[in-house]
Amino acid sequence: MTNLGTFIVVAACVGMGYVIEPLFFELRNTDRNKSEVVKKEKTAKPKKKAKKVKSKPVPTIKIDLSLVKPADFPETVSLRETFEIASDGLTLTLEQGAALNPIRLEGTDLVFKTKGMALEHVIDVDQTDFKELVLPVMNARIQREAEMKRIEDAMPVVLDEVAIVSCMQASVAEGDVSEFKADQVTEWVAGEDMEFDGASYQTGMVTFEAETILGKQQQKAIALIENGEVVKWCWAKTKLEMR
């Protein structure tokens, strides 16, 4: 009986060993895995914070608004920020980017209308992209005007027949020629263009009476005209310069 009891006790202990040992190893492996996960989490490099993207500042455009002409205006401009219009107790909110129709400038203010509305409103021009749009158009116009002026300045003044006569009379009255006086002239006429010393001139011709050793005689003189002024008087026959 004693041997049988001992055998049963030993068998029970052995059976419990088969059950307890796997559980022990499983718990130990779980603890080890948790330890490794914790170590990995501790050693992992922290993620960098995403940088906030800063909005680009609105460019400062320097422009002399007094030089801007209506012809330079764009058809529409856009709002850079929300803008409120108060009228008759009502408030209309125009969102950023809304299109405005520019009417005219008043100093640094832009008078505008909105689509479908007849009333005019005023806004600081810098609250729109007006300067940005108008600057290249204005500069192009100014350059064209400067080029046209340069061409006009380079072109000689061309007188008609009446102006040629008037020009000769003014020259004689101012004493540009001493060979005759205005009261000696019997005829003032416009002449043909003429080459003289390698240059081209408009001309006028006068006929005047002069006292000579042979008595009174009809003489002719040519006025060389350049850019609307008499620059030289010559004898018609010899083309020699008069005093």
Domain boundaries, the chain: 65-153, 161-235
So what's the pLDDT on residue 25? Answer: 43
So what's the pLDDT on residue 112? Answer: 95
List the structure tokens of 121. Answer: 């409103």
So what's the pLDDT on residue 3? Answer: 52
Contact 222, 234 (CB under 8 A): yes
End-to-end CA distance of the chain: 171
What is the assigned CATH class of domain 65-153?
mainly beta
So what's the pLDDT on residue 77? Answer: 96
So what's the pLDDT on residue 59? Answer: 64
The total of other beta-carbon atoms located within 10 Å of residue 56's CB is 6
So what's the pLDDT on residue 61? Answer: 83
pTM strictly above 0.85: no
So what's the pLDDT on residue 13? Answer: 46
Regions of the chain with pLDDT less than 50: 1, 9-11, 13-14, 17-20, 22-25, 27, 37-42, 44-56
